[in-house]
Amino acid sequence: MLKKLPEGSIVALITPFSENGNVNFDKLRELIEWHIAHKTDGILILGTTGESSTMTHWEDDDVVRVAIEQADGRIPIIVGAGSNDSHTQLEKSLKYERMGADALLLISPYYNKANRQGLIDHFKLSADNVNIPIILYNIPGRTGVNIPVDVVEELSHHPMIQGIKEASGSLSYAMNIAKFVGEDFKMYSGNDDIIVPMLSLGASGVISVLADILPEETHDLVRAFLDGDVKKSLDLQLRYLDLIHKLFIEVNPIPVKEAMNLMGMGVGGYRLPLCPMDEKNREALAASMKEAGLL
């Protein structure tokens, strides 16, 4: 059982769909093998990029089962188990732990939000009842909630809360979170465009959309920095910066799925309310991919 969270590039994996809109489990297995072969350090399933918000609980469970079965202990599988209902989150956390998840990603409660104590109780309800690492997920652009710094500080002392995916895009916020980073609490960049700045603040890696199409390069970017080659890391960050921006030219995961399909990976479409890209944006994405040598 994974006792400590990995460092490096953790791919925020898309969920592939078939032409009929169902989850394409054969393609899911194929993608997991591809990431193992191309140096990805961990796989996050059922995250924002995985479109879990439009999947049924039964589909979620099947994706978790297949991913864990296919990985077979060769790469950590982190599962998004969050909910804005604390008890639903607890149910999912316990279930995915039983299924063999290596760690859990728990988002801050969206829509209903919560005050300081509510946030603490929300995360601790799961943390007090599981025995695998938990990563907090701070993404106020999606949830309307920025987890207060003092809440992160308190939660960072919990033995099962071992990290945070920081996706606010605010380096000022990350600077304050960096004070709690150490052997028992890791920070991950949740934004591909600031991986190097986040690593400079003590982040252990990135939970990445870019890694869906450039797994080795994203791994190398992080590994170079952690090994002391800051110039190589920065060069890679800057080389792919335009492509990173194009991957977010529309709401994630529309552009990255489009990119994967342009590469011939056949990952299918989206579920409403997501829909295909605007043609001008698609052309801009394809041009950036050509510049990066992907097409």
Q: Could you please report the per-residue DSSP string of 247-278? A: TTSSSTTHHHHHHHHHTT-------TT--PPP
Task: Output DSSP code: residue 168.
Answer: S
Could you confirm whether 113 is annotated as catalytic? no
Give the number of C-alpha atoms closer than 13 A to the C-alpha of residue 132, restricted to the C-beta side.
23
pLDDT at 186: 97
Residue-wise burial string across 221-246, b where 16 or more C-beta atoms lie within 10 A, e elsewhere: bbbbbeeeeeeebbebbeebeebbeb
Residue-wise pLDDT for 34-60, tens only, equals 999 999 999 999 999 999 999 999 999
Q: Are 48 and 207 in contact (CB under 8 A)?
A: no
pLDDT greater than 70 at residue 93: yes
SS3 content of the chain, % helix, strand, coil (to 5): 45, 15, 40
Residue 45 φ/ψ region, left for φ over 0, alpha for ψ in the -120 to 50 degree band, beta for the rest: beta
DSSP class of residue 139? -
Q: With 0.85 as the threshold, say if the pTM is over it.
A: yes
Looking at residues 181-191, what average pLDDT do you find?
96
Q: What is the mean pLDDT of residues 244-254?
A: 97
92 counts as catalytic: no
Q: Give the separation between CA 172 and CA 20, rounded to whole angstroms.
A: 45
Q: Tell me the pLDDT band of 4, cut-offs 50, 70 and 90.
A: confident
Residue 259 has what pLDDT? 98
**Does residue 269 register a pLDDT over 80?**
yes
Question: Which of these is catalytic: 27, 92, 96, 165?
Answer: 165
> What integer is the mean pLDDT of 208-221?
98
Element (H, E) at 224: helix 215-226
Annotated catalytic residue, options 27, 96, 137, 257? 137
